[in-house]
């Protein structure tokens, strides 16, 4: 079964519902997205760090990124690591989830 060219799985968790007591945050904060190669045997990895969310949500977001990029990945030490240079794809997913991705590093 083939997928449309712009296919992306839906977000694993909905935006917070505004109950009227506190304003609903449209921006969940800054998240750093960088490409790393050092110490990985020459392999490139996209690292997303700076999250202030629960570990379970990080794992759901990591699975979503893996499916959208078609690669493997993991959550280590509070960071999401996706195999390959997938900064643009990861950034677009983060924007949809309400984060503000910032490309860091060289």
* pLDDT one-digit tens code per residue, 77-98: 989 999 999 999 999 999 998 8
Q: Is the pLDDT of residue 28 over 70?
A: yes
Centre a 10 Å sphere on the Cβ of residue 43 and count the other Cβ atoms it contains.
10
With tokens 């997913």, the residue in question is 93
Note if the pTM is more than 0.85: no
Position 12 scores a pLDDT of: 54
Position 26 scores a pLDDT of: 60
Q: Is the pLDDT of residue 18 over 50?
A: no
Left, alpha or beta for 81 (phi > 0: left; psi -120 to 50: alpha)?
beta
Q: Is the pLDDT of residue 45 over 70?
A: yes
Per-residue confidence band for 76, with pLDDT thresholds at 50, 70 and 90: very high
């Amino acid at each position: 079964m083939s997928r449309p060219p712009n296919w992306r799985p839906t977000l694993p968790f909905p935006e917070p519902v505004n109950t009227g007591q506190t304003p609903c945050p449209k921006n969940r904060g800054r998240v750093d997205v960088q490409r790393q190669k050092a110490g990985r045997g020459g392999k490139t990895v996209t690292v997303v760090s700076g999250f202030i969310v629960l570990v379970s949500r990080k794992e759901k977001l990591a699975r979503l990124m893996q499916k959208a990029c078609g690669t493997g990945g993991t959550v280590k030490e509070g960071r999401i690591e996706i195999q390959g240079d997938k900064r643009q794809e990861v950034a677009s997913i983060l924007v949809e989830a309400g984060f503000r991705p910032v490309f860091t590093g060289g």
